[in-house]
Amino acid sequence: MDIRLFLKNIDLFKDIPEEQITKLAEMTQLSNYEKGERIFYEGDHADGFFVVHSGRVKIFKLSGEGKEQILHVMEPGDPFGEVPMFAGGRYPADAETVEPSLLLFFSRKAFTDVISREPSLAMSMMASLSRRLLHLTTLIENLSLKEVPERLASYLLYLHDRDKIADIDLRISKGQLANILGTSPETLSRTLGRMSSRGIIKVLGRNIRLLDPEAMKEIATGLRFKG
Protein backbone atom coordinates (compact mmCIF):
# COMPACT_ATOMS: atom_id res chain seq x y z
CA MET A 1 0.00 0.00 0.00
CA ASP A 2 1.00 3.56 -0.81
CA ILE A 3 1.35 4.90 2.74
CA ARG A 4 3.46 1.96 3.88
CA LEU A 5 5.85 2.51 1.01
CA PHE A 6 6.05 6.20 1.82
CA LEU A 7 6.73 5.57 5.53
CA LYS A 8 9.44 3.03 4.75
CA ASN A 9 11.36 5.60 2.80
CA ILE A 10 11.40 8.52 5.20
CA ASP A 11 14.37 9.14 7.48
CA LEU A 12 12.43 8.88 10.70
CA PHE A 13 11.19 5.36 10.02
CA LYS A 14 13.91 3.98 7.80
CA ASP A 15 15.23 1.43 10.32
CA ILE A 16 11.82 0.17 11.36
CA PRO A 17 10.87 -3.41 10.40
CA GLU A 18 7.92 -4.13 8.12
CA GLU A 19 5.39 -5.14 10.72
CA GLN A 20 5.89 -1.96 12.73
CA ILE A 21 5.57 0.08 9.54
CA THR A 22 2.30 -1.68 8.90
CA LYS A 23 1.12 -0.83 12.36
CA LEU A 24 2.10 2.81 11.94
CA ALA A 25 0.36 2.94 8.57
CA GLU A 26 -2.82 1.61 10.15
CA MET A 27 -2.73 4.17 12.93
CA THR A 28 -2.05 7.15 10.68
CA GLN A 29 -4.66 9.79 10.06
CA LEU A 30 -4.50 11.46 6.67
CA SER A 31 -5.69 15.01 6.05
CA ASN A 32 -5.70 17.22 3.02
CA TYR A 33 -5.03 20.91 3.47
CA GLU A 34 -5.51 23.77 1.05
CA LYS A 35 -2.84 26.36 0.45
CA GLY A 36 -2.63 28.80 3.33
CA GLU A 37 -4.59 26.65 5.76
CA ARG A 38 -3.76 26.63 9.46
CA ILE A 39 -2.58 23.35 10.93
CA PHE A 40 -2.14 24.55 14.49
CA TYR A 41 -1.69 27.68 16.51
CA GLU A 42 0.99 28.44 19.08
CA GLY A 43 -0.32 27.36 22.46
CA ASP A 44 -2.63 24.64 21.12
CA HIS A 45 -2.49 21.43 23.08
CA ALA A 46 -0.91 18.56 21.18
CA ASP A 47 -1.19 14.79 21.44
CA GLY A 48 0.81 13.59 18.49
CA PHE A 49 2.84 14.79 15.54
CA PHE A 50 2.67 15.29 11.79
CA VAL A 51 4.66 14.11 8.79
CA VAL A 52 4.45 15.89 5.44
CA HIS A 53 3.42 13.51 2.69
CA SER A 54 3.19 16.09 -0.07
CA GLY A 55 3.17 19.86 -0.17
CA ARG A 56 4.99 22.26 2.10
CA VAL A 57 4.37 23.59 5.61
CA LYS A 58 5.81 26.65 7.29
CA ILE A 59 6.45 26.75 11.03
CA PHE A 60 6.55 30.33 12.26
CA LYS A 61 6.32 32.79 15.11
CA LEU A 62 4.03 35.80 15.06
CA SER A 63 4.58 39.04 16.97
CA GLY A 64 1.80 41.05 18.54
CA GLU A 65 1.92 43.44 15.59
CA GLY A 66 1.57 40.59 13.10
CA LYS A 67 5.18 40.40 11.99
CA GLU A 68 6.21 36.88 11.09
CA GLN A 69 9.45 34.92 11.50
CA ILE A 70 9.59 31.57 9.73
CA LEU A 71 11.48 28.91 11.70
CA HIS A 72 11.27 26.03 9.23
CA VAL A 73 9.72 25.11 5.92
CA MET A 74 8.86 21.42 6.14
CA GLU A 75 8.94 19.29 3.01
CA PRO A 76 7.78 15.76 2.14
CA GLY A 77 9.17 13.26 4.62
CA ASP A 78 9.80 15.83 7.35
CA PRO A 79 8.15 15.33 10.76
CA PHE A 80 6.95 18.37 12.69
CA GLY A 81 5.04 19.24 15.83
CA GLU A 82 6.74 16.58 17.98
CA VAL A 83 8.18 18.96 20.56
CA PRO A 84 4.99 19.10 22.69
CA MET A 85 4.90 15.29 22.81
CA PHE A 86 8.10 15.44 24.83
CA ALA A 87 8.06 18.85 26.52
CA GLY A 88 5.45 21.33 27.53
CA GLY A 89 2.41 19.79 25.88
CA ARG A 90 1.76 22.84 23.70
CA TYR A 91 2.98 23.99 20.33
CA PRO A 92 5.64 26.68 20.64
CA ALA A 93 4.85 28.14 17.20
CA ASP A 94 2.24 28.27 14.46
CA ALA A 95 2.00 26.00 11.40
CA GLU A 96 0.38 26.71 8.06
CA THR A 97 0.58 25.15 4.60
CA VAL A 98 2.24 27.22 1.89
CA GLU A 99 0.79 25.00 -0.82
CA PRO A 100 -1.86 22.29 -0.99
CA SER A 101 -0.62 19.46 1.21
CA LEU A 102 -1.36 15.96 2.38
CA LEU A 103 -0.33 15.44 5.99
CA LEU A 104 -0.08 12.33 8.13
CA PHE A 105 -0.83 12.53 11.81
CA PHE A 106 0.47 10.03 14.38
CA SER A 107 -0.98 9.96 17.87
CA ARG A 108 1.36 9.95 20.83
CA LYS A 109 0.16 6.44 21.56
CA ALA A 110 1.03 5.11 18.08
CA PHE A 111 4.48 6.58 18.47
CA THR A 112 5.18 5.32 21.99
CA ASP A 113 3.82 1.86 21.12
CA VAL A 114 6.26 1.50 18.29
CA ILE A 115 9.16 3.06 20.18
CA SER A 116 8.81 0.51 22.99
CA ARG A 117 9.31 -2.27 20.45
CA GLU A 118 11.79 -0.48 18.23
CA PRO A 119 14.33 1.59 20.18
CA SER A 120 15.95 2.56 16.89
CA LEU A 121 12.95 4.83 16.36
CA ALA A 122 14.12 6.76 19.42
CA MET A 123 17.54 7.15 17.85
CA SER A 124 15.97 8.42 14.64
CA MET A 125 13.81 10.84 16.57
CA MET A 126 16.81 12.12 18.55
CA ALA A 127 18.62 12.61 15.24
CA SER A 128 15.66 14.51 13.86
CA LEU A 129 15.40 16.76 16.91
CA SER A 130 19.16 17.35 16.78
CA ARG A 131 19.02 18.40 13.15
CA ARG A 132 16.33 20.87 14.08
CA LEU A 133 18.52 22.27 16.86
CA LEU A 134 21.30 22.61 14.33
CA HIS A 135 19.00 24.47 12.00
CA LEU A 136 17.73 26.86 14.69
CA THR A 137 21.30 27.49 15.81
CA THR A 138 22.17 28.57 12.29
CA LEU A 139 19.07 30.73 12.13
CA ILE A 140 20.05 32.49 15.36
CA GLU A 141 23.56 33.01 14.05
CA ASN A 142 22.12 34.59 10.92
CA LEU A 143 19.64 36.81 12.73
CA SER A 144 22.01 37.97 15.42
CA LEU A 145 25.45 38.06 13.85
CA LYS A 146 24.89 38.66 10.15
CA GLU A 147 23.47 41.43 8.04
CA VAL A 148 20.79 40.94 5.45
CA PRO A 149 23.08 40.57 2.39
CA GLU A 150 25.09 37.90 4.23
CA ARG A 151 21.96 36.02 5.23
CA LEU A 152 20.57 36.16 1.73
CA ALA A 153 23.87 35.03 0.20
CA SER A 154 24.12 32.13 2.66
CA TYR A 155 20.59 31.08 1.91
CA LEU A 156 21.01 31.22 -1.86
CA LEU A 157 24.26 29.27 -1.67
CA TYR A 158 22.58 26.71 0.56
CA LEU A 159 19.81 26.16 -2.00
CA HIS A 160 22.30 26.14 -4.84
CA ASP A 161 24.41 23.55 -3.10
CA ARG A 162 21.42 21.46 -2.14
CA ASP A 163 19.71 21.33 -5.51
CA LYS A 164 22.87 21.39 -7.64
CA ILE A 165 21.28 23.35 -10.44
CA ALA A 166 22.31 26.68 -11.91
CA ASP A 167 18.91 28.33 -11.58
CA ILE A 168 17.99 28.40 -7.91
CA ASP A 169 14.28 27.76 -7.45
CA LEU A 170 13.09 29.59 -4.34
CA ARG A 171 9.84 27.59 -4.34
CA ILE A 172 8.27 30.24 -2.09
CA SER A 173 7.28 33.85 -2.61
CA LYS A 174 9.81 36.59 -2.01
CA GLY A 175 7.67 37.84 0.83
CA GLN A 176 8.02 34.44 2.51
CA LEU A 177 11.73 34.45 1.83
CA ALA A 178 11.93 37.81 3.58
CA ASN A 179 10.21 36.17 6.57
CA ILE A 180 12.72 33.33 6.58
CA LEU A 181 15.60 35.79 6.48
CA GLY A 182 14.07 37.93 9.21
CA THR A 183 13.75 41.03 7.07
CA SER A 184 11.11 42.97 5.12
CA PRO A 185 10.08 42.43 1.49
CA GLU A 186 11.38 45.91 0.65
CA THR A 187 14.83 45.24 2.04
CA LEU A 188 14.98 41.86 0.30
CA SER A 189 13.96 43.44 -2.98
CA ARG A 190 16.63 46.11 -2.67
CA THR A 191 19.31 43.59 -1.77
CA LEU A 192 18.44 41.35 -4.71
CA GLY A 193 18.46 44.48 -6.85
CA ARG A 194 21.97 45.39 -5.75
CA MET A 195 23.21 41.87 -6.40
CA SER A 196 21.67 41.97 -9.87
CA SER A 197 23.14 45.33 -10.78
CA ARG A 198 26.57 44.00 -9.87
CA GLY A 199 26.13 41.04 -12.15
CA ILE A 200 26.20 38.49 -9.33
CA ILE A 201 22.73 37.12 -9.99
CA LYS A 202 19.86 37.41 -12.41
CA VAL A 203 16.37 37.39 -10.94
CA LEU A 204 13.82 35.46 -12.98
CA GLY A 205 10.62 35.48 -10.94
CA ARG A 206 10.99 32.77 -8.32
CA ASN A 207 14.24 31.61 -9.88
CA ILE A 208 17.62 33.13 -9.24
CA ARG A 209 20.43 32.47 -11.68
CA LEU A 210 23.77 32.52 -9.94
CA LEU A 211 26.21 34.24 -12.31
CA ASP A 212 29.13 34.82 -9.96
CA PRO A 213 29.35 32.18 -7.22
CA GLU A 214 32.69 33.51 -5.95
CA ALA A 215 31.33 36.99 -5.35
CA MET A 216 28.33 35.41 -3.63
CA LYS A 217 30.60 33.40 -1.35
CA GLU A 218 32.43 36.57 -0.41
CA ILE A 219 29.19 38.26 0.54
CA ALA A 220 28.15 35.20 2.56
CA THR A 221 31.35 35.31 4.57
CA GLY A 222 30.98 39.00 5.34
CA LEU A 223 33.54 40.39 2.90
CA ARG A 224 31.18 43.11 2.28
CA PHE A 225 29.01 44.67 -0.05
CA LYS A 226 28.43 48.23 0.92
CA GLY A 227 26.65 51.26 -0.52
Where does this chain bind a copy of itself (CB under 8 A)? 61-65, 67, 69, 71, 82-88, 92-93, 115-116, 119, 122-123, 125-127, 129-134, 136-141, 143-146, 182, 221-222
Look up residue 202 and give its DSSP letter.
E
Minimum gap (Å) between residue 112 Cβ and a copy of itself: 8
Minimum gap (Å) between residue 180 Cβ and DNA: 12
Q: Which does 226 bind (CB under 5 to 8 A by kind): DNA, a copy of itself, none?
A: DNA
Interacting residues of 219 by C-beta distance below 8 A, sequence separation 6+: 149, 150, 152, 153, 195, 200, 225
Minimum gap (Å) between residue 148 Cβ and DNA: 4
Please tell me whether residue 226 adopts helix, strand or coil conformation.
Answer: coil
197 — phi, psi (to 5°)?
-70, -15
- Which is closer to DNA, CB of 117 or CB of 202? 202
Q: Which does 145 bind (CB under 5 to 8 A by kind): DNA, a copy of itself, none?
A: a copy of itself
Minimum gap (Å) between residue 44 Cβ and a copy of itself: 15
Please tell me whether residue 17 adopts helix, strand or coil conformation.
Answer: coil
Q: How far is CA 132 from CA 44, 107, 125, 155, 204, in A?
A: 21, 21, 11, 16, 31
- Which is closer to DNA, CB of 130 or CB of 173? 173
Q: Return contacts of 59-62, CB within 8 angstroms, 24+ apart.
A: 59/93, 59/94, 59/95, 60/93, 60/94, 60/95, 60/96, 60/179, 61/93, 61/94, 62/94
Q: Which does 203 bind (CB under 5 to 8 A by kind): DNA, a copy of itself, none?
A: DNA
Interacting residues of 213 by C-beta distance below 8 A, sequence separation 6+: 157, 160
Minimum gap (Å) between residue 186 Cβ and a copy of itself: 17
Q: Which does 86 bind (CB under 5 to 8 A by kind): DNA, a copy of itself, none?
A: a copy of itself
Residues that bind DNA (CB under 7 A): 65, 67, 147-149, 173-175, 182-190, 192-193, 203, 205-206, 226
